[in-house]
Structures are given as structure tokens and as C-alpha cells.
Amino acid sequence: MDLNLKYITANYVEFEEVIREAKISSDKLSELIENKLVPEASYSIKSDITISSSLNDSYNVTIERKYFHPSVLQFIKENAEISNPEKFKTLFKENLLTNLKNHAQKKYAYGNVFDENGVINAEKIDQALEEEWDYFCKGVYGICTLNNNEKNIIEKEIAIKRILGFIENKSSYTTEEQENRLKKLNDEFNKATSNFAPYQRELSSRGKYLDKLLEEFSLEDMIKKDY
């Protein structure tokens, strides 16, 4: 089996399986997605199929299968009966902000949302959280994060920014310090971030930054893969 198909089918839940496991109709799932109570599918796989017979005839059909992060089942359970979609959005943004404020390395997140006294800029952070909400609803964080939740979103944001900072300033450390810092950053990144499908790996945050750094420091054995 193609490695991309293997990765997606092993780590994500197909639409029909979602409605079967959640015991809801396809219309209900579509409604929850439309109302932004459940994230969209993270992956879509289209198959062009040719049916032929011994009569020398043929028929072509295209089948599309949508795959969701497994967390979709919990979101359905929690949100299926919510009558006001804004309630979920508000809670999501509040949880994001709480996770950010409680993170020891919060200063790295979202550019300059904190001033020199650690006071948060309300306008800037609201814009950042709105963008995160949009990515979440589109299924992006079902691709990028392990658990597709607010905690992982903040952890991934900070881990990436810290890795970028390391790349910019690594020359100011000794070789031993560089290696130790990189190992810690690798651990932090892996706590929240997925592997990505093989076709996405090279251009993902993991491929562009972390994988290349680990190769640069001859730490290839620490490159995380399950394919």
C-alpha cells in the first residue's frame, strides 16, 4: 500500500466509520461541520475507478472518502446537542488563551502579543485566536497536532517559534549546548506535533526545520517517523 494511504487510514477515521461509531446520520455530521461544532475532515482521498466486464464494456466512477482526526468522535459527543454554535467557539478561544497564559514559554507565541511587562495585547491576541479557530474548523490541526486540541495548538506554536529562535541564534552556543538545546526542543515539539503524511513531510514545520536540524547535528536517529 502507498505510504500516504497507509498513514491516513491508520491514523484517521473515515466519514462512514465516524457516523457509525457516533450513531448519527451523515446529514447530522454535515450539519455539525457546517455549524462549526465539529472540525472538517483533515484529508480527502479521491479514487478513479474503472469497471469492466467480459462484454468488453467499461464504466468510470470517482469515489471520494473523507478522513477525520479521531477526536471528531469526542467533539460529536460533546457538541451534538449544542443549540448555540458560538458557545463552542467562545469556549475554544478561552481554552487557547488559558493554555497560552499558563505556558512557561508563552513569550514566544504569536509574535509580540506580550509587552515587556508580560501584559497581553487584547487586540493582537484576539486576532491570533480567531486565526487558530479558523484553522481548527478547517481540519488543519487534525493534520498538524497529535490530539487536535487547544493545549497542543499552543504547544506547537511555541515549539516552532523556539526552534526558529534556535536556528537564528545557534552560533552563540557551544556545540555541546547546541546539541542539548536541540534535544530538548525535539522533545517539546514531539509532545504536540504529528508526523504529517509522507507527501507533506518535507514542506511541513517538522520537515523544514526540525528534521534538517537533527540531520545537521548527526541526530538522525531522533527523527520521528512511523512509516
* Beta strand ranges found along the chain (DSSP E): 13-14, 43-52, 58-68
Any idea what the Cα angle at residue 67 is, between residues 62 and 187, rounded to 5°? 140
Reported pTM: 0.93
Average pLDDT on 201-215 reads 96
The residue written with cell numbers 477526536 in the block is 71
Q: What is the reported pLDDT for 226?
A: 79
Give the confidence band of 227 by pLDDT, cuts at 50, 70, 90.
confident
Q: What is the reported pLDDT for 80?
A: 94
Q: Is the pLDDT of residue 118 over 90?
A: no
Q: Is the pLDDT of residue 103 over 90?
A: yes
Span 148-200, pLDDT tens digits: 999 999 999 999 999 999 999 999 999 999 999 999 999 999 999 999 999 99
CA distance 124 to 227: 39
Span 57-101, pLDDT tens digits: 999 999 999 999 999 999 999 999 998 899 999 999 999 999 999
Q: Largest Cα–Cα distance of the chain, in whole Å?
A: 79
User: Residue ranges per domain, the chain?
Assistant: 3-75, 84-222
The rounded radius of gyration (Å) of the Cα atoms in the chain is 21
Answer yes or no: are the C-beta atoms of 17 and 68 closer than 8 Å. no
| Average pLDDT over the chain, rounded to an integer | 96
Average pLDDT on 6-27 reads 98
Torsions phi, psi of 45, nearest 5? -115, 120
Give the confidence band of 216 by pLDDT, cuts at 50, 70, 90.
very high
Answer yes or no: are the C-beta atoms of 47 and 67 closer than 8 Å. no
